[in-house]
Chain A
Amino acid sequence: MPVLEIHNLVKRFDTVLAVDDLSFSVEAGEIFGFLGGNGAGKTTTLRMVLDILRPTSGTISLLGAPPSRRVASAIGFLPEERGLYGAMTAIETIVYFGRLKGMDEALARRRGMELLERFDLAERAKSKIGDMSKGMAQKVQLATALVNEPELLMLDEPFSGLDPVNQGLLEDEILRASERGAAVIFSTHVMQHAERLCDRLLLLKKGRKRFEGTLAEARALLPARLDAVAKADLAKLPGVSEAAASPTDDPDWQAWSLRFAPGVEPGQVLQHCTEQGIVLRRWEHHRASLHDVFVQLVGDEEIKP
C-alpha cells in the first residue's frame, strides 16, 4: 500500500486555481521530488496532505486514511519558512514538537538528544534558540521533523537558505530516512538535489501535473543530442531528426551535430553504424539534464541554478 495516494486533487482560493486535478502516489522507502516554480501548487498540496488546508475536491489517502491530526505522529514536516520559539531551548523545542506528535516525553527527549548529537549540537541542547546561529536553529528544526521517526517525511524547499555543509547533512538525513523505510517527499526548484536524490519526480506548473516518473523517464522526454565526426552523411541515419554538418581540419571528415527523435536510443544508432561499416572518429552522446526537462516543461523563469 502506498504511504500517500492523491487522486484528482483540486484546490481553489477565490478565483485562483492553485491545484488542478493532481494525482500521484508515493511508496514506502521512496524519495519523491516535487518540482515546480513559485506558485506551482507544491506548498498548497503539502498543506492539504497535512490537513492544514482542505481540498476543494479530490481525495488524499495517508497511510490508508484521510489526512487528520491523528496521523500527525506518522508525519515529519519541514516547512519552507522556518522558525522556532526564541525563548525555548533546543531540546525543549524538540521535545515539545515530539509531544505534539503524540510521543512520550522521555522518548522524545532521548531521540532529541540522539539527533542533536548526530547534528553536532549536543553541547548546545540547553541553549536558547534565540542565542543560536541561523544554521544551528535550522538543524534543530530538522530535528523536530525527524524526532518521531516519521513514515512520511515532507520537506518543503528544504535546501533553501542552507550552507553547503548543512545541505550535505540534510541529504544524508533524507537518505537515512529512506533507508529506514520512510517515504520522503521534498519540493524544490534546485535541480541538482533532485537529480542526486530522487527515485521519482513530479513536475507541476500552475497547479497541473506536467510529468511524473523516474529521472531516466524525464530525460527521455527530450531528444538526445550527439556530436560525431564521420566521412559519411550522418543525416541519413535512421531516427535522426535534425543534423548539421561543419568542416574539420581534415577535408575528408565532417563534424556532425545530431538530434534524435524522442524515444530513439543513440546506442542503437551506433550499433547501426557499426553494422553498416560507417567509420566514426568521434561519438559523444549528451544526455538531457533535469534542468533541460524542467525548462522545457515548466519554463526557465522559475528555475534556480
Chain B
Amino acid sequence: MTLSNVLLVARREMLQIVKLRSFLLTLLILPVALAIGPILGDSLRKAEPTRVTVIDRSDGDGAKALEARFAFDEARELLGELSRYVQRYDLQAADPKAPWAQHGRWYGPADVAAFEASGGLDAALEKIDRVRPEGVPLFEPPVADYRFVAPPSGLAQNEGADFAEAARKLVADDKDKTKPEILVLIPQGYPADTRIAIYSADEVRGSFVGKLQEVLTADLRTRLLAQSGVTGERAALVQNIAPNIAIDTPPPGGGATERLLVRSIVPLALSYILMMSLMLSGSWMLQGSIEERSNKLIESLLACISPEELMYGKLLGGLVVGLLMLSVWAGCAGIAAFATQGAIADLIRPALEPISSPGIIAAIIFFFVAGYVGISAIFVAIGSMADSMSEAQGFMMPVILLILLPITFLLQAIIAGNDGPLVQVLTWVPLWSPFAVLARLGMGIETWELIGTGILLVVWIAAELVLIARLFRASLLAAGQRPTLAKVIQRIRRPEEAG
C-alpha cells in the first residue's frame, strides 16, 4: 500500500465533500443555531409580567394585602438573585453589611425591608459597580411574574352572571395589553362568604393560586383571632411567626449537580459533535462511494490503486472532514467566548477544567479519531455494496439506529449524573466506547478504564478494517448483485472467490 495514493484519494474525497453546498450549510448551521438559540430563548421567554386585577367588593384590605404579598415575593426573589450574582463574582466588598452580601440564609421580611430602605436595586448596583472588575457581566434583574392593574371601568358594576360573562370576555382579549389576564373577585359577603372567583383564559399557575390562598387565609385567621380576642401585635406575631432558615450551599456553579453539568458540557458536546459529524460525513462518503459505483469508475480507479488504498483514502478523507468540522465549531465557540468574554468565558473556564490536562487532551484526540475511523469504516463498507442511495439507506437505517439509540440514553444518563450499568456497558463496547468515554470525561473516568477501552478499541478497529477491506475488495466490482447476508459473509471469508 502506498501512502501517497492514500493521501491523493483522501484529498479528493475531502475536496469533494468540502465543495458540497450541504457541507457549507451544515458547517454554518450549528454556530448560527447556537447564536440564535439564546436570542430565540429570550424571545420565547415571557418578557412581560402577567397582568392581574383584583376586585374586592367586601371593602376590606384583601386586594392591598395581595398586592403587598406579591411585591414582597418579587423583592425577595430580586434580593436572592442579586445575592447569587454577588457571591458568584465575589463582590461582597461593595457593602459587606448589605443583605445581598450575606448569602447563607433564606431572606425574610426584615431583609427585604432593609434592602428597600437602603435604596433597593439601584443603590445596590451603584455600590457593586464601584468594585465590579472588568469582564464581570452586569446584573440582569429577573422579570416580575405579575403586575397588578386597575379594573376596567364599568366592570365592577356588573353582577352575577353578567359579571362572569364580562370577566370571561375581558381575560380572553389578548390583544389589548392594558387589560388583565387574571381577574380575582372577592365577593361582597367576604369573609362570611369565602368563595373567591378567579377568571383567566389560560391555566392559572399553582404558585399564584397558592399565594392567593395564603394571603386570604392569613386575613381570615386575623379576623378569627380578633373575634377570639387576640388582636394587635399578638395577632401579627401569630400570623408572621416563621422559622429562621439557614441555607448552606456552595457558591453558584459549585453545587454537585450544577458542577457536574458544567464540567460535562464540553465532553458531552464532543460526544455529540462526534456523533453528528459522523452521521453527516458518513452520508457524504456514502454518496461518493455510490457515485463511483453508479458512474462505473471503480474499475478505472482499481487499475491505478489497490482497494485498500481506496478504502483508507476514503476513511482518511472522511476523518479530515470530521476534524475540520470540529475545528470550525470549536473556533466559533472560541470566538464567541472571546467576543462575549464575561458570560461564556465564565462558563467555559470550569467546563474546560476536566479536559485541560495533556493526557486527557490526548485521550480526546484518540477517542475522537478512533470513533471516526471505526464507524466511518462501516459506512464505507455499506457504500461498497450499494448501487444506489436508496439501497444504501436500507443498510444505513439499522446501523444508525444501532449506534444512535444507545448513545441517546447514554447522554441522558450522563446529564443526570448517572454512571450505572448502562454507561459502563456502553463504555466497554467498542462501537459506543468513543462516545461513552468522551461524554464521561466531565464526570471523571478512571485511567485504567481509559487505557482498557482504548486498547479494546484499537483491537476492534484493526479487526474491523481487515474484515471490511476484504468485503470492500470483493464488493467493489460486484455491481448489480443484491448483497444478502450469506453473500456478505462469503465476501469476508473468501473475497477472491466471491463473484
A interface residues with partner B (beta carbon < 8 Å): 12-14, 16, 47, 50-54, 56, 69, 72, 75, 77-79, 81-88, 96-97, 99-101, 141, 144
Contacts and interface: CB of A to CB of B under 8 A. Distances in A.
Nearest to B294: A83
Query: What 6 A-B pairs come out closest when comparing CB atoms?
Result: A83-B295, A81-B296, A13-B499, A100-B304, A83-B296, A77-B303
Contacts of B169: none
Nearest to A101: B304
A122 B464 CA distance: 45
Given A13-B499, A97-B300, 4 more contacts: A82-B297, A84-B297, A85-B12, A100-B5
Contacts of A50: 302-303
A91 B39 CA distance: 48
B304 A79 contact: no
A79 B16 contact: no
A141 B299 CA distance: 12
Contacts of B299: 47, 52, 77, 79, 81
Contacts of A75: 303
A52 B303 contact: yes
B181 interface: no
A167 B407 CA distance: 57
B496 interface: yes
Contacts of B332: none
Contacts of B477: 47, 52-53
Contacts of B497: 12-14
B295 A84 contact: yes
Contact of B302 (A52, A56, A81, A101): A52
B198 to A, nearest CB: 65
Contacts of B205: none
Contacts of B16: 85, 87
Nearest to B5: A100
Given A52-B477, A53-B496, A69 B309 contact: yes
Contact of B305 (A47, A69, A85, A86): A69
A96 B303 contact: no
B290 to A, nearest CB: 12
Contacts of B2: 69
A54 B496 contact: yes
Contact of B296 (A16, A82, A87, A100): A82
A86 B8 contact: no
B234 interface: no
B498 A13 contact: yes
B19 A87 contact: yes
Contacts of A12: 497
B8 A100 contact: yes
A113 B192 CA distance: 102
Interface string B3-21: 0010011001000100100
A157 to B, nearest CB: 12
Contacts of A53: 477, 496
Interface in B298-322: 299-306, 309
Contacts of B294: 83
B479 to A, nearest CB: 8
A66 B294 CA distance: 31
Question: Chain A CB within 10 Å — which of B294, B299, B305, B496 has the most?
Answer: B299
A84 B12 CA distance: 13
Interface in B15-41: 16, 19
Given A69-B304, A69-B306, A83 B499 contact: no
B303 A16 contact: no
A88 B292 CA distance: 13
A84 B301 CA distance: 10
Contacts of B19: 87
A97 B295 contact: no
B499 A96 contact: no
Nearest to A79: B299
Contacts of A79: 296, 299-300, 303
B116 interface: no
A99 B496 contact: no
A276 B302 CA distance: 65
B291 interface: yes
Nearest to B313: A100
B305 A72 contact: yes
Contacts of A100: 5, 8-9, 301, 304-305
Most A Cβ at <10 Å: residue of B5, B9, B297, B304: B304
A101 B305 CA distance: 8
Interface in B238-292: 291-292
Contacts of A87: 16, 19
A176 B306 CA distance: 29
A144 B309 CA distance: 19
Contact of B499 (A16, A52, A54): A16
Report which residue of A69, A75, A78, A99 has the largest number of chain B beta carbons within 10 angstroms of its beta carbon. A69
Contacts of A99: 8
Contacts of B295: 83-86
